[in-house]
Amino acid sequence: MAKPQQYLNFIAGRWVSAKSGKNFPNINPANREEILGFFPDSGPEDVNAAVQAAESAFPEWRLVPPPGRGEIILKAGLLMKERKEELARLMTQEMGKVLRETRGDVQEAIDMAYFIAGEGRRLFGKTTTSELRDKFAMTIRMPVGVCGLITPWNFPMAIPSWKIFPSLICGNTMVFKPAEDTPLSALKMIEILEEAGLPKGVVNLVQGGVKTGEAMVRHPKIRLISFTGSCEVGRLVAEHCGKNLKRCSLEMGGKNAQIVMEDADLDLAIEGAVWGAYGTTGQRCTATSRIFVQEKIFSSFKKSFLERSRKIKIGDGLKEGVEMGPLINEAQLKRVRDYVEIGKKEGAKLEMGGEPARGKGLEKGFFFEPTLFTEVDPKMRIAQEEIFGPVTCLIPFKRFEDAIRMVNDSSYGLSSSIYSRDVNRAMEAIRDIEAGITYINGPTIGAEVHLPFGGVKNTGNGHREGGETAIDIFSEWKSVFVDYSGKLQKAQIDVD
C-alpha cells in the first residue's frame, strides 16, 4: 500500500503546512485501516494568517462586478461536473455514504454553483419614493467582509457550496474550516476554485479541529460566522458572537417526523420512511427519526417497513448494490449504541437492529444495523434527542390533531412530512407543523438549492441557507438617498 499523502492548508493562494507541523489522519470509515491522507492540525496562528490573507484580498475582490464573480463560480461548477464521478468516489471513501448519494452531494454543489452564478446579475435592491421633493431613495447590497465558514462531515461538498458560493457572489473573502472527518473533499473543492480563477486570498482553507474553529469564532477580524453542526457547539458559537456583536448564521439539528394517514399510498409512504430513516446511515439533520402512523394501518405499515428495512444491503459504499454505508467514525458508532441502550432502558421495544453490523467485509468499518423501536412514548429521549444514526421510532396515533401535536412536541423544527391523499389534511399540515420544511407525499430529506433551507426552534437562529435567502446572510443592506433639490431638506421636519 502506498504511503498516504501529506496535504496542506491553502492560505493567500499558497499551499502551506500548519505552523505547528502537526497533522491528523483521514480514515476511511468503511475500513479503519485505510488512511486517505494526513492533514494539517491547524491552530490560532494558521487562522490568523488566513484572516490576514482574506483581509488583504477583500478591497479588490469587493470591487469585482458581481457578474464577474459569477463567471468564476460558474466555471467551478462546470469543473465539478467534469469530475463528478472522481469526486463522488473520493467522497464515498472519505465519508462512507454510498456512491449514488455522493454523486448527489457533488451534484448539489454543482447546482448551487449554477444558481448562485446567476445571482451575480440579480443582486437586486429596491428603488422607492422619498417623502421630500427632488429626492431619490434606493437600497443596495454590500459585502460583509471576512467571513468564517465552518462545515460538517455529512455533506462534504454540498454544505460548503451553500456557504462559499453565496459569500463569494456578495463580494466577501473568507476562511473555510471543514470537518476533520472530511478534509479531502473540501480540499478538492478549493483546488477547483483556484483553477476556476479565484484570486489569491479570497478563499483560505484551514484544516483542523476544535481549536481551529474556536480561533475562527474568536478572531476579531472575522465579521461573520456561518456554522452548520450540533446544537451544543452552535450555542457556544452564538454566545461568543453575541458578546462581540459578530454576525452568525446557525444551522443545527433536527428530530424530523413523518405522518402517515390512513388514506396514504402505503407503498409510497414506506419507501419514503425507509429512505428518510436510513439514507446516509441516518446521518442527516433532516433524517426521519420519528414516524407517526394512523393506528388503523399501524400493523400493516410496521410489517412492510420491517420487511423492506431488513433487505437493506450494508457495506462499502463503492460496491455495487450496497444501500447503506458505515457511520462516520468510532465515536458516532458508540453514540448510536448508547442511544439504543437508552431506548431499551426507557421501555421501548427494539423491533430490529440495535447492534453494529457484522458479516464479511464489515469487520474493519463502523457499520451499524438499521434500527427500529416501537412502543415508544413521544417523551422518551430516543423520540426527543437527535441520534444521527440509522435509528427511528414508529409511533401510532388516533386523530390527525394528535399527530400534529406530537410532531410539534420537539425542541427542533427542521423538516417534516405527511403522506395523505386528502388535500385538506395536507394544507392543514403545511399550516400547523412547526418546521422550516414540510413535504407532502415525500420523505423528510431532499432539499433543492433554489429554496430556503433551515428550521425553527433549536434548529437554528432564524437564517436560511439556499435560495435567495442565502444572499441575506452574506450581505449588508445600505439605504441610499440622493437629494437633487440644491437646498438643505430636513426629513420629517420639512414635511407638512
Structure confidence at residue 270 (pLDDT): 98
- Count of CB atoms situated within 10 Å of the CB of 423: 9
pLDDT bracket for residue 3 (50, 70, 90): confident
* Mean pLDDT confidence for 360-382: 97
Residues 245 and 272 in one domain: no
Checking if the pLDDT of 2 tops 80, the result is no
Range of the domain at 156: 9-252+460-479
Instruction: Say whether both 263 and 233 belong to one domain.
Output: no
The span from the CA of 451 to the CA of 74, in Å, is: 19
Q: How confident is the model at residue 300 (pLDDT cuts 50, 70, 90)?
A: very high
Q: Indicate yes or no: pTM above 0.75.
A: yes
Least Cα distance to 171 among 54, 46, 251 occurs for 54
Residue 107 pLDDT grade (very low, low, confident, very high; cuts 50, 70, 90): very high
Residues 243 and 272 in one domain: no
Pair 178, 304 in one domain: no
Say what the pLDDT of residue 105 is. 98
Q: 43-55 as b/e, with b when 16 or more CB fall inside 10 Å?
A: beebbbbbbbbbe
pLDDT digits (tens, 9 = 90+) for 10-63: 999 999 999 999 999 999 999 999 999 999 999 999 999 999 999 999 999 999
Please tell me the distance from the alpha carbon of residue 406 to that of residue 402, in angstroms, as a whole number.
6
Residue 37 falls inside a structural domain? yes
Same domain, 212 and 298: no
pLDDT at 77: 98
Judgement on whether residues 387 and 278 belong to the same structural domain of the protein: yes
Residue 54 lies in a domain: yes
Residue 200 lies in a domain: yes
67 within domain boundaries? yes
Total domains, the chain: 2
Q: What is the CATH number of the domain that holds 317?
A: 3.40.309.10
Q: Is 285 in the active site?
A: yes
Determine which one of 147, 231, 248, 285 is catalytic: 285
Q: Judge whether residue 494 has pLDDT over 90.
A: no
Nearest to 256 by CA among 295, 228, 284, 227: 284
Mean pLDDT of 336-352: 98
- What is the pLDDT averaged over residues 154-170? 98
Report residue 491's pLDDT band, with 50, 70 and 90 as the boundaries: confident
Asked if 271 is an active-site residue, the reply is no
Please report whether residue 128 resides in a domain: yes
Whether the per-residue pLDDT at 277 is higher than 90: the answer is yes
Helix (H, G, I), strand (E, B) or coil at 451: coil
Average pLDDT of the segment spanning 301-324 = 98
Residue 4 falls inside a structural domain: no
Q: Which of 173, 125, 124 is nearest to 148 (CA)?
A: 173
Helix (H, G, I), strand (E, B) or coil at 76: helix
pLDDT tens profile 201-222: 999 999 999 999 999 999 999 9
Confidence of residue 1 (pLDDT cuts 50, 70, 90): low
CB of 206 within 8 A of CB of 235? no
* Distance set, CA 4 to CA 34, 41, 147 (Å): 9, 16, 32
* Same domain assignment for residues 64 and 127: yes
Each residue's pLDDT tens digit, 122-152 = 999 999 999 999 999 999 999 999 999 999 9
Residue 492 lies in a domain: no
The reply to whether 246 and 352 lie within a common domain is no
Within this chain, do residues 429 and 473 fall inside the same structural domain, yes or no? no
Instruction: Indicate whether 419 and 470 sit together in one domain.
Output: no
What CATH number should be reported for the domain holding residue 241? 3.40.605.10
Q: What is the rounded CA–CA span in Å between residue 481 and residue 130?
A: 8
Same domain, yes or no: 64 and 98? yes
Specify whether 421 is located in the same domain as 312.
yes
Identified catalytic residue from 101, 180, 214, 251: 251
Mean per-residue pLDDT over the chain, rounded: 97
Q: Is residue 95 part of a domain?
A: yes
